[in-house]
Structure 1
Amino acid sequence: MSIPTSMTAPNNAMMTTDFTLRRDAFGRLVLTDAAGNLHEGVAPVRAFPIGAPDDGLALVNTDGKEVLWIDSVDDLPAEAAALVREELAGREFMPEISRILDVTSFATPCTWSVETNRGNADFVLRGEEDIRRIGPDALLISDTHGIHFLIRNQYTLDKHSKKILDRFL
């Protein structure tokens, strides 16, 4: 599939490019740029994974070098957008907490039982410093294994969850 798209280069110069994006026999993404250069095993990387997850993505090669900039996934044709989103879903794991069910203690370390968009989970919070504010509403919570749990908007949580969360903030 040939996908014409308008992109912003890293130096903010506008450029229009034709490229193809497909999966090879091993399931890796393969990009063929306008010059005909083949880039095997490219991976999408979000510039702003929490604040603007569908805006500002780079396709990087296996060395981590940017080979293509995409202003917005929504600007891509449906087939290419589906490939990019599918690849991101396979690489990223950041469950979003919708409810805090219980905590074992209000002193750290303690075990949290939460409901997420990926199912219920239990994790150990080492200390209050592992809860970080991301903007005015969002929180990022890191567990002892380095998994990040996102609360997209702390003010939309139910009363019970807010009460528990307030004890740690």
Structure 2
Amino acid sequence: MTTTVTLSRNPFGHLVATLADGSVHESVTPVRAFPIAAPDEGFSLTGHDGHEVAWLDRLDQLDAASRALIEEELASREFMPEIRHIRSVSTFATPSQWTVDTDRGEFSFTLKGEEDIRRVGGDTLLIADSHGVQFLIRHRLQMDRHSRRILDRFL
């Protein structure tokens, strides 16, 4: 099933949404409704004024070209590496230096305080480093034993 929203880029590289009623909205921004809990469901296309122009239940409602434009736009704006393994922690007191393996490679960051580790729901965690970068742990209980033990010391 495809929806009646068609996306393109204008000469300035901004997304343009054309709706079923023929209205054209310049500089739209795709926004995930539930970026952590349901990243593939619920997308709002907002105009330059921040108001919603269109709602998409799923990206597969769009034609392939429009879907690719939204995925490209989201990838350029979203940066949330997913931690797969915790290699080491300098100390169990904060601040501490963490070395982790993520879906984007190895990272080292400083955890300022225990309050920078937040439970998002179930066994999902968000860890903010000292520069404000958000790291995601999607399934804490499915991580290896070493990583779980380190996390348990901070939770």
Tell me the TM-score normalized by structure 2. 0.94
Please give the per-residue CA displacement for 1:61-113, whole angstroms capped at 9, x wherever unaligned.
11111100001112222222211111111110100000101111100011111
Over the matched positions of the two proteins, sequence identity in percent amounts to: 57
Aligned equivalent of 1:81, options 48, 61, 67 = 67
Please give the per-residue CA displacement for 1:23-42, whole angstroms capped at 9, x wherever unaligned.
12222111112222221111
- In structure 2, the gaps of 5 or more residues are none
Rounded to whole Å, the distance in 2 between the matches of 1:107 and 1:142 is 16
Amino acid of the structure 2 residue aligned with 1:66: E
Query: Could you tell me how far 1:20 is from its partner in structure 2?
Result: 1.9
- Contact between 1:54 and 1:74, CA under 8 Å: does it hold in 2? no
Over the aligned positions, Cα root-mean-square deviation in angstroms equals 1.4
Alignment match, 2:27: 41
Rounded to whole Å, the distance in 2 between the matches of 1:24 and 1:117 is 33
Amino acid of the structure 1 residue aligned with 2:51: K
Alignment match, 2:55: 69
How many equivalent pairs are there? Answer: 155
- In structure 1, the gaps of 5 or more residues are 6-17
Aligned equivalent of 1:134, options 101, 120, 131 = 120
Rounded to whole Å, the distance in 2 between the matches of 1:59 and 1:82 is 14
Alignment match, 2:98: 112
User: After the TM superposition, which of the residue ranges 27-36 and 104-113 deviates more from structure 2?
Assistant: 27-36
Query: With CA pairs under 8 Å and 6+ residues apart, which has the higher RCO, 1 or 2?
Result: 2
- Contact between 1:97 and 1:115, CA under 8 Å: does it hold in 2? yes
Alignment match, 2:148: 162
Where do 4+ consecutive residues of structure 1 move more than 4 Å? none
Rounded to whole Å, the distance in 1 between the matches of 2:62 and 2:6 is 11
Query: Could you tell me how far 1:4 is from its partner in structure 2?
Result: 4.6
Tell me the TM-score normalized by structure 1. 0.87
Secondary structure of residue in 1 paired with 2:5: strand
